[in-house]
Amino acid sequence: MITVLNNKRTVSFEKIHVQQYATAAEASVQVAHEIAALIKDKQAKGQRAVLGLATGSTPKKVYKELVRLHREGDLSFHNVIAFNLDEYFPIQPIAWQSYKRFMKENLFAHIDIDQDDCHIPDGTVPQEFMKMHCEQYEKFIEDAGGIDFQLLGIGRNGHIGFNEPGSHNSSVTRLITLDISTRLDAAPEFGGTTNVPKKAITMGVSTILKAKKIVLLAWGENKAGIVQQAVEGAVTELVPASYLQAHSDVKFVIDDACALELTRNKAPWLTDTVMWHQQMIKKAVTHLALTVNKPILKLTNNDYNENRLSDLLALYGQAYDINIDVFNWLQHTITGWPGGKPNADDTNRPERATPHKKRVLLFSPHPDDDIISMGGTFQRLVDQGHEVHVAYQTSGNIAVADDEAFRFIQFVLDFNKQFNITNTESTALYEKAARFLKTKAKGEKDIDELRYVKGIIRRGEALNTCRYTGVPDEQAHFLNMPFYETGLVEKKPLGEADYEIIMNLIEKVQPHQVYAAGDLADPHGTHKVCLDAILEAMKRLKQKDYMKDCWLWLYKGAWAEWDIHQIEMAVPLSPDQVLKKRAGIFKHQSQKDGVVFQGSDSREFWQRAEERNKATADLYNQLGLAEYAAMEAFVRWQY
């Protein structure tokens, strides 16, 4: 589709209208106000508003804003009828994973909607009556006059409702079998994949498409790929959200992170006029080299012209000059001296040569992110004589499996028995944890004593990695940030106590370099919260003298890597260093061999880390730079 805007040719690859907001919070407020306006408009006309609602983490902030509007007296729901998309099967409504309970806790209990007007498929209906139940559900929607406004989320496999890949566009409300990827995504809430129900009841694709207006929400980098496919790709049953392309009043509301894969962001020169600054040139040239499958120095004028980069070519005059610039920029990101190379000219190096010995503060959101995400760089910093402190931000206790904890508890109890240690506070704690474990129900929240044990297991593993790397015990700091300590996947909001812990440590270490997990776009994740706490602490301390000399480097904590054009420091690893890093990761025994939070990626953490670091090295090599075994990448962040 080509449209002319202000004499500028704007090309769109998007087949669904997309509204992009800086943050999920901002977007959610807008959507909530849109829903509120519809409800009020219907009220003014004496009509009922029929809402189709979704569950999951995505719409929570929309519901929060609707509740706020209601509390402030600005919005009544007396004329609303709600139909939820789906429900697990079988499930009891009181189970805390049930969508019935979710809706009550997040919306229905806090507003003045008539509870009889809140419809959710029933996860307790016997299977032989399911067909009837589903037909009735469709009929209720029809009798209500059809859905006026359908709110949707999207699964990472492209599902809408629980219409998994393969669902037909004529499907109606029915019982379905959940995709394995959906069950893996739900595993944390259920305390393991095996506890996730295998089936669910869902409105069909045609039920959804009948809604008068549809708004699909998606946040974060995790969803960027599937959103791109749904919006820019072909309509296919393999991506059920792509069926929405056929609807006449649909839009996707997404945040910046989730929009990353859309052509408008991925390759903006293909859709619009762009400003050619260094980052953009790097982005375009690396993209071009990868598209035409050539190293940068072999790109020709034709390659630029044929791939809509004639603007850039005109700016420089010839491909040769652009190629040399970009090649050098990339070359200058590579260094074996992450703390700066002593007595060397640092004009074109990512880090300063002085001070020669730096104080380094490495923040690790969980007890193993330091070694997994930047183990090679960590080791180099220690080996090159810097004073390296590691700060473990959270206890990571919810990621220890029960049987692993039991093994340690048993060890302590056996030891105490052997040496007749009885009636101590510690014996009581371990005995209580053991009693709890013996009767623990599936998915039940751990008691404090068990969480304590799980926390010290992970602490021991992290200390082991520090010793292995050469960091003295007193330079390993266990912060146990309070926001994390809920015992559940859902965490508390950051508070003053969290900020203070980080500020105190920075004040104590007065670092020249801070390393942090830069998962900027992970709206629900611990990594993002941990980063927010560091950024806030650094902002508050910014005026201190020692902070003027402090650089912040971000590594990617999750499995994705920075885009090549963003990388400002790339630290190569030799084959031996790769093996050394692997052994460092092995110190985290509780996170090996079938972990609690495996996610949809069945590889072990050391495998994911190695494949990611190799991929970064291969990418540099593919672009025509030297061939290394592996590389860890960083972005310098201005705070």
Q: Is 528 near ligand F6R (CB under 6 A)?
A: no
Position among 58, 207, 335, 526 found at the interface with ligand F6R (CB under 6 A): 58
Q: Among residues 164, 387, 404, 561, which one is catalytic?
A: 164
Do strands 118-119 and 149-152 pair parallel, antiparallel, or not at all (unpaired)? unpaired
553 vs 637: CA distance, rounded Å: 6
Residue 217 beta carbon to ligand F6R: minimum distance, rounded to whole angstroms = 8
59 contacts: CB under 8 Å, gap ≥ 6: 28, 53, 151, 153, 217
122 vs 231: CA distance, rounded Å: 32
Position among 155, 204, 350, 584 found at the interface with ligand F6R (CB under 6 A): 155
Q: Which is nearer to ligand F6R, 152 or 623 (CB)?
A: 152
Binding mask 67-86 for ligand F6R (x = CB under 6 A): ------------------xx
43 vs 520: CA distance, rounded Å: 41
| DSSP at 418 | H
Q: Examine the residue annotation and report whether 232 is marked as an active-site residue of this protein.
A: no
132 vs 173: CA distance, rounded Å: 10
Do strands 359-364 and 513-517 pair parallel, antiparallel, or not at all (unpaired)? parallel
418 vs 411: CA distance, rounded Å: 11
Q: Is 375 near ligand F6R (CB under 6 A)?
A: no
SS3 459: helix
Q: Which of 178, 199, 19 is nearest to 91 (CA)?
A: 199
In the block, tokens 């927010």 appear at 532
Stretch that binds ligand F6R, among 151-159, 305-313, 338-346, 426-434 (CB under 6 A): 151-159
Q: Is 167 near ligand F6R (CB under 6 A)?
A: no
Task: Name the closest residue to ligand F6R (Cβ).
Answer: 153
534 vs 494: CA distance, rounded Å: 11
- Please return the burial class of 247, using the count of CB atoms within 10 Å of its CB with bins 0-12, 13-18 and 19+: middle
Position among 160, 267, 390, 433 found at the interface with ligand F6R (CB under 6 A): 160
Q: Is 56 near ligand F6R (CB under 6 A)?
A: yes
Interior angle at CA 590, CA 584 and CA 594, nearest 5: 105
Residue 55 beta carbon to ligand F6R: minimum distance, rounded to whole angstroms = 4
Q: Is 386 near ligand F6R (CB under 6 A)?
A: no
Q: Is 54 near ligand F6R (CB under 6 A)?
A: yes
- Give the alpha-carbon dihedral of 364, 365, 366, 369, to 10 degrees: -50
Q: Which is nearer to ligand F6R, 160 or 388 (CB)?
A: 160
The site that binds ligand F6R (CB under 6 A) totals a number of residues, namely: 14
Q: Is 554 near ligand F6R (CB under 6 A)?
A: no
Stretch that binds ligand F6R, among 3-11, 158-166, 319-327, 592-600 (CB under 6 A): 158-166
SS3 163: strand
Stretch that binds ligand F6R, among 48-56, 381-389, 453-461, 559-567 (CB under 6 A): 48-56
Q: Is 159 near ligand F6R (CB under 6 A)?
A: yes
Q: Which is nearer to ligand F6R, 182 or 271 (CB)?
A: 182
266 vs 286: CA distance, rounded Å: 12
Helix axes 448-469, 425-439, angle to 10 degrees: 110
Q: What is the CA radius of gyration of the chain?
A: 27
Residue 154 beta carbon to ligand F6R: minimum distance, rounded to whole angstroms = 6
Q: Is 97 near ligand F6R (CB under 6 A)?
A: no
Stretch that binds ligand F6R, among 49-57, 336-344, 381-389, 584-592 (CB under 6 A): 49-57
Q: Is 197 near ligand F6R (CB under 6 A)?
A: no
CA 113 to chain CA mean position, Å: 33
Q: Which is nearer to ligand F6R, 85 or 360 (CB)?
A: 85
Stretch that binds ligand F6R, among 88-96, 152-160, 348-356, 627-635 (CB under 6 A): 152-160
Residue 87 beta carbon to ligand F6R: minimum distance, rounded to whole angstroms = 8
457 vs 589: CA distance, rounded Å: 9
Residue 182 beta carbon to ligand F6R: minimum distance, rounded to whole angstroms = 7
Q: Which is nearer to ligand F6R, 155 or 511 (CB)?
A: 155
Q: Is 118 near ligand F6R (CB under 6 A)?
A: no
Half-sphere exposure of 209 (CA within 13 A, CB side): 18
Residue 232 beta carbon to ligand F6R: minimum distance, rounded to whole angstroms = 20
Residues that bind ligand F6R (CB under 6 A): 54-58, 85-86, 153-155, 159-162
Q: Which residues are catalytic?
A: 164
